[in-house]
């Protein structure tokens, strides 16, 4: 199923980006190569031959709306500079100012590094000493979404690595602590204590096996809203389950069960991130979150169990294939 | 209710220090060479982190592309009438769809909804309950299965998603019942 979801995400992204960009082209959303009327306000006593002239730009809201066919309206005025370049006189808006769509997209596409909207100025019609009516033509913008998906793919690939490397510290800490707990015999006592409850859910785990201890620790950390501690413990539990797996590239029923219980994530204490966002308001949500997670935990357990019995999934069960048909059936 | 809540808050504050100090202390009592064992175990942390990178990249870049292409917004718009009929307020729909895909994205949605509708609104309570009672399913799958190199996930995705969908709908009804 993950294969289809994954391929679906990628293929649909491409199709959508293409449809969106073709629609932009046919509607000419960005009015490529067409001049937008603007008014320039020069400072008193400016030098007409200077290479850079600071000024303010005003765009008539009605003209703007009609030109781009949009509801968005520009601000009353923008700071900017007029720069002499080889291609002609260029108007540069101040960096990082808030501009309405589609100008912000044009800026993002054509001046990503400096983040200042740039366009070439047409002939000036002077009105008095400091005022001039003119037009500005922004560089053409095409295939916005195509650029966007390519950029997103690269950005998120980097994010993934940052996320994974960010885990190293907490992973190492918890793996170290668990190693001590294991050597001190603490995990064994935990297994003895909890296996009457947990073993029916994880029939593939033999009696007194350390995997149970890791599962308990993982679920407990989850319940207490300790997301950062829950992940290393869950990974450790997966490693223990993998030791019982005769086919290392295929998930066992127990692994799926652990995953389902994690996604349902019973929360007695809400996750740290949510507390940070909601502040004291979170107190009100204590019971609603508890009720929802408890019931969805039941649903998660049930769906993991029931789906595991479907023929397609039963045939791919690594432990069943290895054990023949005997032992596993007796357990469930 | 308040005392239970306070007790749990205090408990959750003490859990981490207790474990971090308690484990080595107990080990010491049991005559375990705690420092050596800690370092031995901790070495594994690096390997695991590196091991999950390919899995995380695969999941995250696909989700990132899907969002950037505008397909996600389209999906949300398309589902709006269907879910409205099931009693789902259209405002919480983005949360329902984005929650299993990205944790930071759904946190941003809660923040945005607080700004838009106010902390006390029913909509924010629904979204926050959804956030609190489900997980970033695809991230969890990538990390947990990635760490042990499992590629054939079998019924993990459907089971996780069924639990997610159930929790999302339940959050709406429970919040309505408790606060509505």
Residue pLDDT, tens place only, B121-179: 999 999 999 998 888 899 999 999 999 999 999 999 999 999 999 999 999 999 999 88
Q: Does residue B43 sit in helix, strand or coil?
A: helix
8 Å CB contact of A2 and B157 = yes
8 Å CB contact of A145 and B164 = no
8 Å CB contact of B144 and A259 = yes
Q: Which residues of A touch B100 (CB under 8 A)?
A: 263
Per residue in A76-132, pLDDT (tens digit) is: 899 999 998 888 889 999 998 888 988 999 998 888 788 899 999 998 888 887 888
Does residue A72 come out as left (phi exceeding 0), alpha (psi in the -120 to 50 range) or beta? beta
Distances (CA, A) of B47 to A35, A171, B20: 57, 10, 22
The angle formed by the CA atoms of residues B135, B155 and B85, to the nearest 5 degrees, is 60
List all residues 6 or more positions away from A165 whose beta carbon is below 8 Å from its beta carbon: B49
Q: In this predicted structure, which of A61-65, A136-140, A158-162, A264-268 has the lowest mean pLDDT? A: A264-268
**pLDDT value at A26 more than 90:** yes
Q: Is A272 on the interface with B (CB under 8 A)?
A: no
pLDDT for A327: 47
Q: Which residues of A touch B156 (CB under 8 A)?
A: 2, 251, 255-256, 259-260
8 Å CB contact of A278 and B111 = no
Which pLDDT band, with edges at 50, 70 and 90, does A332 fall under? Answer: very low
Which pLDDT band, with edges at 50, 70 and 90, does B1 fall under? Answer: low
Q: Which of A164, A262, A287 shows the shortest C-beta gap to B135?
A: A262
Q: Which residues of B touch A295 (CB under 8 A)?
A: 166-167, 170
State the angle between helix axes of A227-243 and B34-68 in degrees (0 to 180), rounded to the nearest 10.
Answer: 100
Q: Which residues of A touch B125 (CB under 8 A)?
A: 284-285, 288
| Element holding B83 (H helix, E strand) | helix B71-85
Does residue A172 come out as left (phi exceeding 0), alpha (psi in the -120 to 50 range) or beta? alpha
pTM: 0.81
Q: Is A96 on the interface with B (CB under 8 A)?
A: no
The angle formed by the CA atoms of residues A264, A173 and B6, to the nearest 5 degrees, is 55
Per residue in B69-116, pLDDT (tens digit) is: 988 888 888 888 888 888 889 889 889 988 998 888 888 889 889 988
8 Å CB contact of B152 and A316 = yes
Q: For residue B80, give how far its alpha carbon lies from the nearest alpha carbon of chain A (Å).
A: 19
3-state secondary structure chain A: CHHHHHHHHHHHHHHHHHHHHHHHHHHCCCCCCCCEEEEEECCCCCCCCCCEEEEEEECCHHHHHHHHCCCCCCCCCEEEEEEEECCEEEEEECCCCCCCCCHHHHHHHHCCCCCCCEEEECCCEEECCCEEEEEEECCCCCCHHHHHHHHHHHHHHHHHHHHHHHCHHHHHHHHHHHHHHHHCCHHHHHHHHHHHHHCCCCCCCCCCCHHHHHHHHHHHHHHCCCHHHHHHHHHHHHHHHHHCCCCCCECCHHHHHHHHHHHHCCCCCCCHHHHHHHHHHHHHHHHHHHHHHHHHHHHHHHHHHHHHHCHHHHHCCHHHHHHCCHHHHHHC
User: d(Cα B179, Cα A254) in Å, to the nearest integer?
Assistant: 38
8 Å CB contact of A296 and B170 = yes
Average pLDDT (A295-305) is 95
8 Å CB contact of B15 and A5 = no
Q: A9 and B66 in contact (C-beta within 8 Å)?
A: yes
Percentage of chain B exceeding pLDDT 70: 98
8 Å CB contact of B140 and A259 = yes
Would you call B4 exposed, middle or buried from its count of C-beta atoms within 10 A (0-12, 13-18, 19+)? exposed
């Amino acid at each position: 199923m993950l294969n289809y979801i994954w391929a679906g995400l990628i293929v649909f992204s491409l199709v959508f980006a293409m449809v969106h960009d073709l629609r932009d082209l046919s509607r000419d959303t960005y009015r490529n190569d067409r001049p937008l009327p603007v008014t320039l306000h020069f400072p008193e006593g400016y030098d007409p031959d200077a290479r850079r002239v600071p000024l303010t730009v005003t765009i008539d809201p009605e003209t703007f709306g009609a030109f781009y066919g949009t509801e968005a309206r520009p601000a009353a005025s923008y700071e900017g500079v007029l720069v002499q370049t080889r291609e002609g006189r260029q108007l540069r808006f101040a960096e990082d100012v808030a501009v309405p769509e589609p100008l912000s997209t044009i800026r993002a596409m054509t001046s990503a590094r400096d983040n200042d909207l740039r366009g070439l100025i047409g002939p000036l019609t002077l009105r008095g000493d400091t005022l001039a009516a003119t037009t500005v033509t922004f560089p053409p913008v095409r295939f916005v979404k195509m650029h966007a998906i390519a950029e997103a793919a690269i950005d998120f690939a980097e994010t993934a690595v940052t996320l994974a490397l960010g885990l190293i510290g907490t992973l190492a800490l918890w793996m170290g602590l668990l190693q001590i707990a294991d050597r001190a015999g603490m995990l064994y006592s935990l297994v003895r204590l909890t296996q009457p409850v947990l073993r029916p859910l994880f029939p593939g785990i033999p009696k007194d096996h350390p995997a149970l201890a890791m599962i308990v620790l993982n679920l407990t950390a989850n319940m207490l809203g300790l997301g950062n501690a829950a992940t290393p413990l869950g990974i450790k539990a997966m490693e223990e389950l993998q030791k019982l797996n005769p086919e290392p590239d295929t998930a066992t029923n127990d692994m799926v069960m652990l995953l389902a219980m994690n996604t349902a994530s019973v929360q007695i204490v809400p996750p740290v991130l949510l507390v940070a966002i909601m502040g004291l308001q979170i107190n009100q949500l204590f019971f609603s979150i508890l009720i929802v997670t408890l019931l969805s935990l039941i649903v998660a357990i049930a769906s993991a169990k029931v789906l595991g019995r479907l023929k397609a999934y039963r045939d791919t069960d690594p432990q069943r294939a290895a054990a023949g048909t005997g032992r596993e059936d007796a357990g469930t | 209710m308040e005392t239970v809540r306070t007790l749990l808050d205090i408990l959750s504050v003490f859990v981490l220090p207790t474990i971090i100090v308690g484990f080595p202390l107990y080990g010491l009592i049991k005559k375990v060479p705690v420092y050596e064992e800690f370092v031995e175990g901790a070495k594994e942390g690096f390997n695991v982190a590196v091991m999950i990178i390919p899995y995380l990249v695969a999941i995250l870049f696909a989700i990132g592309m899907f969002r950037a292409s505008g397909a996600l917004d389209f999906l949300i718009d398309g589902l709006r009438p269907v879910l409205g009929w099931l009693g789902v307020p259209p405002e919480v729909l983005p949360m329902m769809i984005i929650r299993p895909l990205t944790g930071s994205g759904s946190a941003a949605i809660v923040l945005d909804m607080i700004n838009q509708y106010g902390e006390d609104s029913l909509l924010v309570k629904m979204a926050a309950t959804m956030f609190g009672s489900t997980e970033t399913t695809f991230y969890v799958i990538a990390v947990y299965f990635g760490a042990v190199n499992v590629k054939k996930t079998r019924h993990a995705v459907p089971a996780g998603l069924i639990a997610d969908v159930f929790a999302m709908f339940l959050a709406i009804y429970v919040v309505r019942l408790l606060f509505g």
